[in-house]
């Protein structure tokens, strides 16, 4: 009989396997889901409040879309998908025996998993350009995958929450992104500081000190100022081939003081002769002027040491830190003047930020910021005492559900204690008990699981109480 | 300067690339997202009403978890992920030159993309058995991936909405799943028929006609009755090696008539001597008896031709058809007595169903069942007339948002017509216009985009009107 053969097949496999998941990935339990959804729902609500609309893109993109967009290191960290079917037959012998994994990948893999949401979004905009009304304001909340070495707080599958506007140069967009940051973290009750810089200012600095072609080395080094200190940054710059003279010129710029406007004045005094530099200072003045019109909960700070690794940024750049927890940035982004150019649609400026849901989750867990009632559960459990009692309860249960009350019955007549423990672990608020006496009286006993109070009520009263 | 070098890099890549996505995958626009979320939200709401809680599992599972669970064909349809780093160096020359793609896959790939939600759920249950209170009622809404040949209505990435209960043998669970089906499709306004069968009845049939070891051939053939007709099913059975005598014995079973209870009587008369068969008939009697207590909108029909391909089902099986559209099943599932046994945790019975979000979407599109207001958009757009007007509008806009009104301002002073067209395409309900006169009077002009009505109101009145 087939039930038997099936069991035999299972037995064989049992020996061979212990269940686990790939390192750097996670399962999410109902409690974790409820907390994560609390973050996602908050973020979505605020995004929509500012006029952004959701899109989604496939988990898999063509490797031609992804490769070369995240630097050499990024290419290595892409998860690649093996071509289906007989992928190896068309690879010639020489290539096989060469055993060059990178070159062989091109022959046996055409697709990769999404590495971030920005490049797929740029691809989306270009592909659907004729259906989009620009300026296009979209948000996107989806997982991304990176073959990074897993460690505490760093996963191979994690969610990004991106919000971008493309097709508008206005700095009003930068303002609104800062307002969004403020509103999200205000609602999540996380104290933050938003650090802002501008790539044009960095370009102006490089130009002023005569090292324009080393701007990437310089920004990467500056980015480490917080971590390794001024001395080591200077050393690194010299090692990279930046002249001593240029490094000397750089010093005052790395030691600015005062408030944001005062800092901008000092910067302008040094780099004002550079066109890019002057433009960058102007942009920042406009943004800080906009911001001065609002009372924000978050601090906003001009920070020249902020560079952000990604090369596609060309204007404002943002990074958000949680004040009460030692952790990397929990949100970041910036303006990119030509990201869609990669896909053949030049001159479309965009600006956006990305919220790191996993780090926000960690911050909120550490600071105990999740509201108690986030766990989605039923409001009431009917204890199951047996066939007759079950038959009495089922129509009442159906009426509760028809009235949109989340309600359930224990599926079998297990021991009372077991059923109550189950209800308790699931954080069910009320329990209904029906025995012979209740049936005889046409009533039910309702127990409040928190207070322990019990009352005998009619089914109609029950529905009224639980619908409140 | 780095802005220039960046532009040069982009230009090179432009030539080589045209943006597209892998075949069988899709982008979702804001309108499609709103409609899909309408389906997901409905399904979630009903799942929660019945006491199910959400979980999520990683997109990637170890291949050892996935392989062998979906048949030989399923193994081929798994998307496999290439190992990171230098994956090829450890493969020996002989294996390389053998060019056996299947065998080579084992050497260069350890992970695969989720093929369904049932096997990852079974893995989840076994892995977290010590943290779970059984019976465990979970739902899971996530994409799955299959390297199937893409065609109309069949995608390589699609969403499943699964709801399962494990650790309970009670047929009350089968009842509740039918109620969930009823509630979901009632709320989505899709007319459906639920077809029900029981694998034990099929096993009883095979036993009775003396072909127990061919139960899988028989169920696969019976499954095609609807599509290819009785004659061809008989032929296929004979070809598979089922005896003429057995095929003859099978005929009355394939030509049942009457209502569900009458059919069960006829079946029992034929297969009552088989233990499995008798048990199956009893289970169905209990379920139909449960169901008779409720007035459902959906039809429920015992259908012996329903077999469902997956081998892990051992009891009730379900399939839901939309009555008004020619399309495959939009929901299906069944009871599995030992799915977790595959992972070393035997004797845990489960039952569950899966809603096919993509087919449901297609049905609703064809029947025009989506409510008009599903598109998430802002309630009001402030037209941008320039710097001075913008400065007047921004604080009012902020107050609206603080009052939880979804509101936005066009990010730059474009032509009025362009801004209104943009608002119209985005289905914004109201537009606020502020010129010199409004500023002088301390008011704003509010325009209803549907009726065209305009009124001059104070900012306070505006907030009151739009907050309603």
Residue B349's pLDDT is what? 95
**DSSP bridge pairs for A334:** A317, A352
Which of A37, A88, A133 is closest, CB to CB, to B99?
A88
Question: pLDDT for B240-288, tens place per residue?
Answer: 888 898 888 888 787 788 899 999 999 998 898 999 999 999 999 999 9
H or E segment and range at residue A408: strand A407-409
Give the pLDDT confidence of B122-162 residue by residue, as tens digits.
999 999 999 999 999 999 999 999 999 988 888 999 999 99
In a 10 Å sphere around its CB, with 0-12 CB exposed, 13-18 middle and 19+ buried, how is residue A325 labelled? middle
Q: What is the DSSP string of A6-45?
A: HHHHHHHHHHH------TT---B-HHHHHHHHHHHHHHHH
Best CA proximity match to B56, nearest among A370, A428, A357, A184: A357
- The predicted-structure confidence for B293-308, as pLDDT tens digits, reads as follows 999 999 999 988 887 7
Subunit contact B64:A16, Cβ cutoff 8 A: yes
Determine the 3-state secondary structure of A107 from DSSP. Answer: helix
Q: Say what the pLDDT of residue B6 is.
A: 37
CB atoms under 10 Å from CB of A86, counted, come to 11
| Contact (CB, 8 A) for A369 and A435 | no
Closest CA to B357 of B24, B23, B20, B44: B44
Per-residue pLDDT, A15: 45
A87–B7 C-beta distance less than 8 A: no
Closest CA to A388 of A416, A413, A410, A423: A413
B457's CB contacts (< 8 A; 6+ apart) are B443, B444, B445, B446, B465
Q: Cα(A383)–Cα(A419) distance, rounded to whole angstroms?
A: 7
CA separation for the pair B249, B208 (Å, rounded): 9
Per-residue model confidence (pLDDT) at position B10 = 41
Query: What is the model's pLDDT at position A309?
Result: 66
CA A453 – CA A466 distance, rounded (Å): 15
What is the pLDDT at residue A463? 96
Helix, strand, coil percent content, chain A, rounded in steps of 5? 45, 20, 35
Radius of gyration of chain A (CA): 29
Residue B17 pLDDT grade (very low, low, confident, very high; cuts 50, 70, 90): low
Predicted pLDDT at A214:
80
pLDDT at position A3, please? 34
Q: Flag if B411 and A170 touch (Cβ within 8 Å).
A: yes
The pLDDT value given to residue A372: 79
* Chain B residues with CB-CB distance to A18 below 8 A: 343-344
Nearest Cβ partner for B96 among A97, A145, A165: A97
CA distance B210 to B244: 11
How many angstroms separate the CA atoms of B142 and A287, rounded?
A: 40
Paired tokens of A289: 């002027």
The pLDDT value recorded for residue B158 is 96
| Residue B358 to residue B371: CA distance in whole angstroms | 17
Per-residue pLDDT at B374: 66
pLDDT < 50 positions in chain A: 1-16
- B359-392 residue pLDDT tens: 999 999 999 999 977 676 899 999 999 999 999 9
Tell me whether residues A59 and B113 touch, CB distance under 8 A: yes
Spatial contact of B80 and B104, defined as CB atoms under 8 Å apart:
no
Name the token pair of A96: 């096989």
pLDDT band per the 50, 70, 90 thresholds, residue B331 = very high
DSSP state of A149: P
Q: How many Å lie between the alpha carbon of B279 and the closest alpha carbon of chain A?
A: 13
Span A272-306, pLDDT tens digits: 899 999 999 999 999 999 999 999 999 999 988 88
CB atoms A3 and B203 under 8 Å: yes
Alpha-carbon distance of A137 to A352, in angstroms, equals: 10
Distance, in angstroms, between A423 CA and closest chain B CA? 10
Sign of CA dihedral B257, B263, B269, B273: positive
Other C-beta atoms closer than 10 Å to the C-beta of A376 total 18
ipTM: 0.90
Q: What share of chain B is helix, strand, coil (3-state, %, to 5)?
A: 45, 20, 35
pLDDT in tens, B55-106: 999 999 999 999 988 888 899 999 999 999 888 888 888 888 888 888 899 8
CB A69 within 8 A of CB A77: no
């Amino acid at each position: 009989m087939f039930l038997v053969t099936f069991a035999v097949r299972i037995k064989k496999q049992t020996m061979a396997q212990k269940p686990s998941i790939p390192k750097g990935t996670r399962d999410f339990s109902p409690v974790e889901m409820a907390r994560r959804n609390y973050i996602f729902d908050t973020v979505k609500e605020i995004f929509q409040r500012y006029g952004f609309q959701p899109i989604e893109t496939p988990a898999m993109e063509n490797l031609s879309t992804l490769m070369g967009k995240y630097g050499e290191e990024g290419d290595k960290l892409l998860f690649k998908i093996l071509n289906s079917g007989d992928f190896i037959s068309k690879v010639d012998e020489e290539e096989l025996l060469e055993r060059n994994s990178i070159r062989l990948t091109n022959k046996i893999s055409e697709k990769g998993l999404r590495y971030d949401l920005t490049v797929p979004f740029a691809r989306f905009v270009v592909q659907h350009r004729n259906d989009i009304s620009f300026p296009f304001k979209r948000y996107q909340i989806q997982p991304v995958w990176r073959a990074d070495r897993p460690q505490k707080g760093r996963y191979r599958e994690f969610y990004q929450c991106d919000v971008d506007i493309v097709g508008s140069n206005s700095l009003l967009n930068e303002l609104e992104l800062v307002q969004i940051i403020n509103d999200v973290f205000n609602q999540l009750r996380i104290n933050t500081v938003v650090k802002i810089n501008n790539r044009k200012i960095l370009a102006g600095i490089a130009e002023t000190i005569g090292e324009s072609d080393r701007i990437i080395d310089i920004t990467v080094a500056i980015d480490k100022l917080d971590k390794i200190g001024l001395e080591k940054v200077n050393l690194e710059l010299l090692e990279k081939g930046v002249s001593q003279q240029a490094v000397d010129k750089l010093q005052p710029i790395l030691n600015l003081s005062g408030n944001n406007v005062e800092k901008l004045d000092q910067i302008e005094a040094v780099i004002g002769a550079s066109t890019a530099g002057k433009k960058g200072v102007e942009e920042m003045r406009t943004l800080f002027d906009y911001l001065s019109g609002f009372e924000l909960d978050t601090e906003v700070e001009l920070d020249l040491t902020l560079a952000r690794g990604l090369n596609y940024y060309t204007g404002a750049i943002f990074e958000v830190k949680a004040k009460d927890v030692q952790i990397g940035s929990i949100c970041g982004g910036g303006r990119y003047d030509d990201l869609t150019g990669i896909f053949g649609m030049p001159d479309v400026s965009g600006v956006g930020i990305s919220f790191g849901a996993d780090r926000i989750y960690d911050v909120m867990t550490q600071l105990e910021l999740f509201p108690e009632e986030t766990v989605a559960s039923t409001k009431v459990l009917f204890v199951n005492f047996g066939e007759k009692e079950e038959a009495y309860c089922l129509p009442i249960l159906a009426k509760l559900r028809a009235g949109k009350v989340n309600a359930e019955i224990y599926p079998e007549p297990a021991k009372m204690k077991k059923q109550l423990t189950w209800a308790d672990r699931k954080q069910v608020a009320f329990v209904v008990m029906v025995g012979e006496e209740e049936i005889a009286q046409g009533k039910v006993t309702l127990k409040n699981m928190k207070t322990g109070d019990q009352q005998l009520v009619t089914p109609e009263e029950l529905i009224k109480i639980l619908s409140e």
